Chains A and B, each alone.
Chain A
Amino acid sequence: MSSLGRQHPLANVDWLTVLVYGVLVIFGWMNIYSAAVVDTHPNPMDMSQEYGKQFLFILISSFLGLMVLYMEGEFFNKFAIYIYGLFILLLLLVLAVGTTVNGAKAWIQIGGFALQPAEFAKIGVGLMLAKYISNTKAKFNNWKTRLIAAVIIGIPALLILVQPDVGSLLTFVAFILALYREGLSGNVLIIGLGAIVFGVLSIISGFNKVNYPFFGEQSGVFILMTIVFIIGIVFMGLIKNFVVPRNRKKLYLITILSTVAAIGFSFSVNFMIDKVLAKHQKTRIYVTLGLEEKEEDRSEMSGDSETAEAADMVVKSKSDDPGYNARMAKIAVGNGGFFGQGYRQGPMTKNKYVPERWTDFIFSVISEEWGFVGSVAVIGLFVFLIVRLINMAERQRSQFSRVYGYCVASIFFLHLLINVGMVIGLAPIIGIPLPFMSYGGSSLIGFTLLLFIFLRLDAERLSVFR
């Protein structure tokens, strides 16, 4: 490290970001308390309860974050590969000795605490990607670079898929955003977005059964395929008539390939849904897309009074309604109104209607008790943090720091996107935490380290060229 002078380690640290971090963590803790408080254990630092444990995690995270700030940024550059390797080892270890919770073998039990390596693996991947890109001055217009980047992301992703923890896996998509900044073709994003839209269309049409002439009742996806095929034919016709001959050949090829790809894609999406996904995952997707039974249909089940009906609804739902979590979260959010029900006053929260409300569904608690105002404030803080991190990444002279900064911002963004999207009913139920706010030691410590490593790197931005 080439230092331009001996400065205090905490000089040049971006304190505004630290402040935002602190607000989110403390506000998260307050809401965890509201969501999980047990009348017999009113002390927020009661170690037998989630809020007490979270307090401990906050202390540990603060300590580790401070330690990172006192470290040399150079360390993370030099040891990136080892850190990456260490986390890969942990991911292997969890497959060997891990404990299974909610169907995923994702936890390593150490004493009274459980460690979730997937939450830390993102740090390793971020550092490793930054290291690779900055060292090789890689350009993303060649296949070799793309392949190596894919491998760096792919190894831990594959290990997480084996657990299987689809939620954590999805957050690895974040790295694509970081790579896009470093030159990965924008087509990847567009194709990705197009694939999502077309995939949703395929699922919706595949969900509906259609009675075809001659073929009888079949999946509606064949109609979609036919439409794609017709559009392909129309394009061929257009190319023949309106494009100069020397360009035709290439366009023909693109049209044929994309038509075939689209048909193949929609077919395989439905194949995945039908044959590969577990029943509950399939249902979750259907529920999110509004295809599975809705609450209105359910409440029609008769009881003698409105409230008894509601009670029936809850009890019935819990056992056999796949949309229960999603619906309860939405009701809790909607119940918040503009100003919220007040701290520790949310009836849906207080009466335990939303499952996982202090972990993955913490945003529903915030929404119910703090209302539209509180929800927007939290989203606003996250957007502020992400945009600030992006701008901080841009001010780095070192490419290593910049790539890493983008990784950090992208990871926060993806968590926000999936977690909040899930709570407000825009995304399927995917169990990932809301950074800094959800209960959980691994995630809080993981996100803290992720952020503070970048804050350390940023603090040294003026003194390093890498």
Chain B
Amino acid sequence: MNPTLDLLYRLADDQLILGHRNSEWNGLGPILEEDIAFSSMAQDKLGHSLQLYSLLRALGEAEPDTVAFTRNAPQFHCCQLVELPIGEYDFSLTRHFLFDHAELLRFEALATSSYEPLAQVARKLRGELKYHALHANTWMKRLGTATDEAIERMQRSLDFTLPYALGIFEKTDAEAEIISSGLFVGEDELRGRWLESISKVLAQTALEVPDVLALTPVMGGRYGQHTEHLQPLLDEMAEVFRLDPTADW
């Protein structure tokens, strides 16, 4: 695939799928503020995915709604991390923390992308993503220094989620060209910055951080290999759209 399209599909699909997962906390958050926080982040992420699908549209791909609602799981380029069910709050928080640190750093790097339309969008999104990272840090630090039960649950979530988080940085065949053309600094570079960034926060908690780079990453998402959880999510997302794809909502 053309390197720009390859990069944009990965970015947009991550946002769309995690946005939908976050929205599942609507009405179920452990406290009202968290209900609102996850719902707001869902709204942000759907907005971000729309901006990115619009860039794809300008490059000749299908309309954003068509791209979002008519593909099946093997055609999605999101990492597996974002498609996992919301589970308990500790997992959703840990995923949000690990993903949004990568996302903030990714869009900070993309702000100087050689592809100017993407750089423009990135300059906008990075400011918004700061709030996502701030929110995640606050709760990681709070729960990661709280009761024994809280620390134990957060530790278990961290250990479970880290291998999936490493899948964020899965490279595609276009990676070399993406870097050489100045589109993006590349996944390895991003992973290094991410590790530094999450380590700083985790160091302020009672959580033990394993040797992250020694873990086996959960890969495949960027090539359309997904868990059994993605297709049911897509079916639910598109249920109304598919009733009448020509309807004007």
Do these two chains interact? no
Residues of chain A touching chain B, judged by Cβ–Cβ distance below 8 Å, are none
